[in-house]
Structures are given as structure tokens and as C-alpha cells.
Structure 1
Amino acid sequence: MRKLVKPIIYIGLIVTAVICFIPFLMMMVNATRSNEEILAGFTLIPGHALMENYRTMMDYINIWSGFKNSLIISILVTCLSGYFSALTAYGFAFYTFKGKNFLFVFMLVMMMVPGQLGLIGFYELSKNLGILDSFIPLIVPAVASPFVVFFLRQYLQTTLHPSLIEAARIDGASEFKIFHTVAIPVMMPAVATMSIFTFIGSWNNYITPLVILFSPEKYPLPVLMGFLKGSQVAQNLGSMYLGIAISVVPIMVAFLFLSKYIVSSISAGSIKE
């Protein structure tokens, strides 16, 4: 019976992977088919309407402009959030200062508040600062994400022993050097894990750019895709599938290169003294 357990598990995993891959396969295949072919039913055989669907889509939106804007915003948000959230988490984990517990509890409370509740106030603040219709309101607020800080702090407390920091201080290393040479390498699996979710969250962000941005050439991809659904292109299902396929490529690439860190960060244990 024990010999059958492992093959059954592998078969279950393979079936699950195939089921998860089917929607992506349908999207890729339908992006190459005409509207009539899609309505006729699903097939695994690609069609010959890829260029026609592409031209129809480009007649209404410049998807590559939106792709570039989304890429710029998402990469900057991911890099800034990863670095400054790690710095904040390191401070919460290994420093003692006045109001530390209050600030940490306040950060936990902020995690429970939906961002949409403060959207009107955020709009007014951006208006008063004169940064509307720019990428600044979409990038700067993500510098220190409460959830990322909380996750990295918990990770640090289980993987980085204080004795390593004390040893670095005895050797004469500055606090920033300790952070960059000792803490950051230890945190990299957790930072990479959070970077995946940060990138995806920023890439899929729709409501905030819709409120903050006014110039069509600055719209990120989700906003352009929303306009696409309200145009005549929505009647061409092949063009819709093609636009969606282009929009999910960076997310798939991010998972492809960074997903291995999810396992390593989850399975990380404490350091043996």
C-alpha cells in the first residue's frame, strides 16, 4: 500500500497542474482564432486570425504603451517595497526604541483597513501636492507595505540570530553594513516571495490609476483593458483574448523565476546555535 502512495500523489499533482494550465491554453489558442471560430466551440488547434485580432485591438488602444507604463510602475514598486520594507522589518526585529510596540500594532491595524476606503482622501492629498496625473502616487505609497514588513519581521525572528549581528558589531561593522551584508542575504528568500505578490498586485492595480491618471498615454495596462471591454473590440473575442494574453505574460515570468523562493522561505527554520 505504501508503494502506491507516491504514484497516486504524483498523478494527483499532474492532474491538478493540467487543470490549472487549461485556462491559459484556452486563452492562448483563442487569441489566434476569429470571433466565429471561438463561438463555434473550443479546440486545441490554433487559428489563423492572430494578426487580424492584433490589428483590431491596436486600432482602439496602444497596448504596448500600457504595457510599458505598467512595467515601469510595477518594477519600481517591487524594488522600493522590497528594500524599504526589509529595512523597516529589520528595525522592528532587532532595535528597541520608544513607541515600537505602538507603531507595530498600528501597522497591523492598517493591514486590516481596505485601501479603497482612503481613496478619496488620497486623491485630495495628491491634488494638494500637485502630483495628480503622474506615477508618483502609484509608486511612493508602496515604499513600506505593512503586510510585507510584518511578513519579513516574522521571517527575520526565526532565521537571523541576534548573535550574528552582535558579532558583526564587535568586528566594527556599521549598522547599514550589517543590514546589507548580514540581514539582506538572510532575508532574500522572503523578499523574493513578497516581491512576487507585490509585483502582481501592482501590475493588476486598476482603481487607483483610474482615479489618479487622466492622460491616456500614462494609463497602465489594466485601465486600458477596462476601456477595451467598453469599446467595439469587445465584440471581437479574439482581440480580447489576445489583450489578456499579453497582460499576463509578466506575471507568468515573475512566477517562473521567483516561485522557487516561496518554498525556501516557507520551509526556513531557526538557526542552530
Structure 2
Amino acid sequence: MPNETKTAATTTAKASKIHDPMLTLQRAVAYIVLFVLCFICLFFFYVLIVNATHNNFTIQQGFDPLPRGSFGVNFFNTTHDANVPILTGLRNSLIVSAACAALSVYFSALTAYAIYAYDFKLRKLAFTVILLIMTMPTQVSALGFLNLMDSMKLTNTLWPLILPSIAAPTVFFFMKQYMDSSLPRDIIDAARIDGSGEFHTFNTVILPILKPAMAVQAIFSFVGAWNNYFIPALIINDAKWKTVPILVAQLRSADFLKFDMGKVYMMITIAILPVMIVYLLLSKYIVRGVALGSVKG
């Protein structure tokens, strides 16, 4: 009898909470704010896609929210422009972004594992130095990096865009924090007792545990490499090795009299399409990885 009374009281309390006017108002305000934020985020994508269906004349007249019939023409003009080879740029950007994502995630996880699993004298100093590198802007070392690549005869190739991703302090820091919160040391000790080598332990035992964090950082590394303009603009002059951001800037800086806004919007649409696909396919890992990789407190 007391259990039934307690259950009835709990049910009554939940029902009263559901019909609480203040709680309903708070939820309504929260949903309105979320709707406005979602609209602001998605509206610009809608403008981009709609303008890709307009020709240059209609775009110059002002914003028209309705799609038009110039999508095919803009797509043909963009993909068949010999001066701005967008398909070649897509290929180069995909190669660079995929390679950067793979290298930065693997070697950053390997470095984080070394800091996490080994207790050596300069361990804290090594961790501090790596974090200090995060504070150094790319522009500070750009001139020296350009001179180094030029002396190594690597300019006008994709290698200078790929190899530096092996050293990614931001990815390292995230991996280290993830290991601190989600990787028991007992697993490493058990693998060593069983006779597993360090690289075998890392590749077969540690990497599967790090999969959510690696997926998140792979997304961020891919997007960062895809949107990178500064370093490719310094390194690459040959049209066959130019990436998408360089081609977009090149088309945008064309002669105003020959400037086609329809082609610009179409090129930007093509440029962001792979990034949107990556986010849609792997977005679930972002929330999962951030939640699991948070710092213990």
C-alpha cells in the first residue's frame, strides 16, 4: 500500500511539472531561440544554392528567393572554364584534405599515446612545448617555410600542404585529453604483460578505443585543410596543382566586365558540397567524441 501511494504521488508530481506554465514558457522560448539560430545558419546556404540557379543579370538585380533555370548553364560554364579548372581543384583539395586528416589524426594520437603511456623525465616539458606551438600563428613561420620548400624543390607540388599535418598540436591536445578521461592504463599494462609490442598495442588495442575522438578530429582536419588558402597561395603557382580556395579567389578577382556571379555561386556550391557530405555522414561522431573526450572534473 505505501508503494502504491508513493507511485501515485510521483505520477502526480510529474503531471503537475509537465503542466507548469513557467516550464512551458521556458521551453517555448528555448525552441524559438533554437529555430532562429537554425534559420540564420541555414539561410545563407539557401541563398547560395538559389543564386547558383540564377544568371549574372538576375543576381545583379537583387536577391530573388525563388530558384531559376540557369543551374545547368552555370554548372557547364564553371566546369568547362579552362582558366579556372574546378574539377582539377576538387581533385587536389580532396587529396590534400584526406591525407592531412589521416596523417594528423594518426601521428597526433601516436604522440599523445607516448606522452600518456610513458613516464619519462621530460614528459611535462614536452607536453608544454607542444602546447606552446599552438599559440604560434601560421603567418609567423610562413616566410621560413616558403624558403625551406623552395630550397627542397617542393614548391608547385602538394607535398608542402600534406607533410606539415603530421605535427598538429591541436589534434594532439584533444587526443591527450581524451586518453586522460577514457583510456585506462590497465589496458596498456595488460597488453605489455601479454608480450605485445608498443606499436602493436597502439595499432590494435588503443586505436579502436580512440575511434570516436579520431573521427571528430578527422572531420575538423579535413575541413581545415579544405578551406586553407594562405599556405597554398604561397606555395602553388601551377594551375594543375591549385586547390579550390585558390580557384574561387582567382575567379572572384577576375575582370569586372567579364565577372559572372552565377559562376561564382556555382563554384562555391561545388566547393562546399564535399564538406557538407562529410558533416552529414560523420556528424554523429562529433557529439559522441566531444562528450567522451571531455576533461574529467
User: Is the structural similarity TM-score above 0.5?
Assistant: yes
**Distance apart, 1:269 and its partner CA:** 7.0
What amino acid is the match of 2:167? A
- Per-residue CA deviation, residues 19-51 of structure 1 (Å, 9 max, x unaligned), is 211100110010010122223332332111123
Q: Is the contact between residue 88 and residue 144 of structure 1 (CA under 8 Å) also seen in structure 2?
A: no
**Distance apart, 1:139 and its partner CA:** 0.5
Query: Aligned equivalents of 1:251 and 1:200: distance in 2?
Result: 6
Q: Is the contact between residue 26 and residue 44 of structure 1 (CA under 8 Å) also seen in structure 2?
A: yes
Of the three residues 214, 221, 242, the one matched with 2:244 is 221
Moved more, 25-34 or 250-259: 250-259
The CA RMSD over aligned residues, in Å, is 1.9
Query: Aligned equivalents of 1:205 and 1:34: distance in 2?
Result: 28
Q: Is the contact between residue 174 and residue 293 of structure 2 (CA under 8 Å) also seen in structure 1?
A: no
What amino acid is the match of 2:74? N
1:1-273 superposed matches below 5 A: 1-57=22-78, 58-59=80-81, 60-232=83-255, 235-268=259-292
What amino acid is the match of 1:259? S
SS at match of 2:53: coil
Query: Aligned equivalents of 1:232 and 1:244: distance in 2?
Result: 18
Gaps of 5+ in 2: 1-21
What amino acid is the match of 2:166? V
SS at match of 1:133: coil
**Distance apart, 1:125 and its partner CA:** 0.9
**Distance apart, 1:184 and its partner CA:** 1.1
**Could you tell me which residue of structure 1 aligns to residue 13 of structure 2?**
none
Query: Aligned equivalents of 1:131 and 1:4: distance in 2?
Result: 61
Q: Is the contact between residue 115 and residue 123 of structure 2 (CA under 8 Å) also seen in structure 1?
A: yes
What amino acid is the match of 2:58? E
Q: Is the contact between residue 53 and residue 68 of structure 2 (CA under 8 Å) also seen in structure 1?
A: yes
Q: Is the contact between residue 178 and residue 293 of structure 2 (CA under 8 Å) also seen in structure 1?
A: no
Query: Aligned equivalents of 1:14 and 1:204: distance in 2?
Result: 28
Q: Is the contact between residue 78 and residue 195 of structure 1 (CA under 8 Å) also seen in structure 2?
A: yes
SS at match of 2:210: helix
Query: Aligned equivalents of 1:205 and 1:101: distance in 2?
Result: 32
What amino acid is the match of 1:125? L
Query: Aligned equivalents of 2:193 and 2:28: distance in 1?
Result: 53
**Distance apart, 1:142 and its partner CA:** 0.6
Structure-2 change in CA distance of 1:144 and 1:109 (3 Å): same
Structure-2 change in CA distance of 1:131 and 1:217 (3 Å): same
**Distance apart, 1:116 and its partner CA:** 1.2
**Distance apart, 1:218 and its partner CA:** 0.7
Gaps of 5+ in 1: none
Q: Is the contact between residue 84 and residue 143 of structure 1 (CA under 8 Å) also seen in structure 2?
A: yes
Q: Is the contact between residue 89 and residue 241 of structure 2 (CA under 8 Å) also seen in structure 1?
A: yes
Q: Is the contact between residue 53 and residue 262 of structure 2 (CA under 8 Å) also seen in structure 1?
A: yes
SS at match of 2:292: coil
Query: Aligned equivalents of 1:52 and 1:145: distance in 2?
Result: 42
Q: Is the contact between residue 213 and residue 293 of structure 2 (CA under 8 Å) also seen in structure 1?
A: no
Report how many residues are paired.
270
Query: Aligned equivalents of 2:207 and 2:174: distance in 1?
Result: 14
Q: Percent identity?
A: 39
Query: Aligned equivalents of 1:246 and 1:266: distance in 2?
Result: 29
Query: Aligned equivalents of 2:204 and 2:288: distance in 1?
Result: 20
SS at match of 1:267: helix
SS at match of 1:113: coil
